[in-house]
Chains A and B, each alone.
Chain A
Amino acid sequence: DAKTTQPNSMESNEEEPVHLPCNHSTISGTDYIHWYRQLPSQGPEYVIHGLTSNVNNRMASLAIAEDRKSSTLILHRATLRDAAVYYCILRVNAGNMLTFGGGTRLMVKP
């Protein structure tokens, strides 16, 4: 399975931008990069996905390196509600057999 590497944890101050990195050096040309987050006591929640170009939506931005071997999820202004575990996942094959790594636990300080 295509693997991703993320830091175990990161800390941010409220109202500041947060950059969550992900390495995926074995990515193939057709693999999509997806980000999900899991708030306490909830199931994972879709955040954003992309293939080659940078992507923006109302929740976050996704910056993808030119060689696609890494990406960064950007939360423009962290709030306390953004405290969660963020998972970077490569969608390799059709079918919903996702491989979740350990993710990054984001802590937001008031």
Chain B
Amino acid sequence: KAGVTQTPRYLIKTRGQQVTLSCSPISGHRSVSWYQQTPGQGLQFLFEYFSETQRNKGNFPGRFSGRQFSNSRSEMNVSTLELGDSALYLCASSLEGRRTNEKLFFGSGTQLSVL
């Protein structure tokens, strides 16, 4: 089975631009969640999608948004980029995300640099 696939692997943008990151979950997984990782703040939860609906949301500004498609693939969008948005963005998938003994599978991430 293929793992979680994130594209692109690296991205360079300038302040004020917007960016879209893509995540393909493991086949059969319906829950997709997104995390931001920075050296200063560590790994922080952004949001989670299940059946095309946002189920949970972390403490991030509205510039960060996402969506999930009927095939469970997900995208996240960051508008009006700021320097502080430079980070590794990680996507994780799991079967349904309804049980606390469920494993998460992470992709290798998209490294975003904002200049």
Contact = CB atoms under 8 A, between A and B. Distances in A.
Contacts of B33: 96-98
A28 to B, nearest CB: 10
A87 B55 CA distance: 24
B70 interface: no
Contacts of A92: 100
Contact of A44 (B31, B48, B106): B106
Given A43-B92, A43-B109, A45-B106, A94 B100 contact: yes
B24 interface: no
B66 interface: no
Contacts of A94: 97-100
Contact of A91 (B4, B101, B107): B101
Contacts, number: 71
Interface string A68-104: 0000000000000000000100011111111111110
A43 B42 CA distance: 12
Given A96-B92, A97-B56, A98-B45, A43 B97 contact: no
A86 B75 CA distance: 28
Contact of A97 (B58, B98, B101, B105): B58
B56 A95 contact: yes
Interface residues of B, number: 28
B15 interface: no
Interface of B: 4, 31, 33, 35, 42-45, 48, 55-56, 58, 90, 92, 94, 97-109
Given A43-B92, A96-B48, 18 more contacts: A36-B104, A42-B108, A43-B4, A44-B43, A46-B103, A46-B104, A49-B103, A87-B43, A96-B92, A96-B97, A97-B45, A97-B58, A98-B35, A100-B35, A100-B42, A100-B44, A101-B42, A102-B42
5 contacts: A30-B100, A49-B103, A92-B100, A96-B102, A100-B43
3 closest pairs, A vs B, by CB? A43-B106, A91-B100, A100-B43
Interface of A: 30-32, 34, 36, 41-46, 49, 51, 87, 91-103
